[in-house]
Amino acid sequence: MSSKKTKRTPYQIGASQEYKAIEWFQSCLARYVIRSAGSHTVVDFIAGNGEDVYVVQVRYGKKPKPVNLTELREWAQAFQAIPVVMEKIRGGRWRPRFIDSTGVEEE
C-alpha cells in the first residue's frame, strides 16, 4: 500500500491555526467561542466569558497579511466587543494583541 500523504488545502491549514488560537483563547480569556468558518470576513471567531465579548482575527506565518483594523473595530462595535488580533509568534506560541477602539494599539 502506498503511504501517500494528501496535501492540505489553504482552508484546512487556516482552520487548524484558528482552532489552535481558539484553544489558547479558551484557556486564558473566554469559555464560549463561535468560529466563523469560511465566512471571508475579518472576524475568525467571537468569544465570551459572561462579562467580556471578543471579536478575533487570527494571523500566522512568516509574513502574515495585514489586518484591516478599521473593519475589525466596526465588527467589535456592532457586538459591543473587544477587538483582538491573535498572532502566532516564535516558538509556536500565541499572543493576543488587543486593539483599542480609538485607533491606538495596546500590548
Enumerate domains of the chain plus CATH numbers. Answer: 10-98 (3.40.1350.10)
38-75 pLDDT, tens digit each: 888 999 999 999 999 999 999 998 888 899 999 999 99
* DSSP 3-state of 12: helix
* 5/8 Cα distance (integer angstroms): 9
Instruction: Report the candidate in 102, 87, 86 with the shortest Cα–Cα distance to residue 30.
Output: 86
The answer to whether 97 and 69 have CB atoms below 8 angstroms apart is no
Place of cell 486564558: 28
pLDDT band at 106 (very low <50, low <70, confident <90, very high): very low
pLDDT band at 104 (very low <50, low <70, confident <90, very high): low
69-97 pLDDT, tens digit each: 999 999 999 999 999 999 999 888 999 99
Cα diameter, the chain: 59
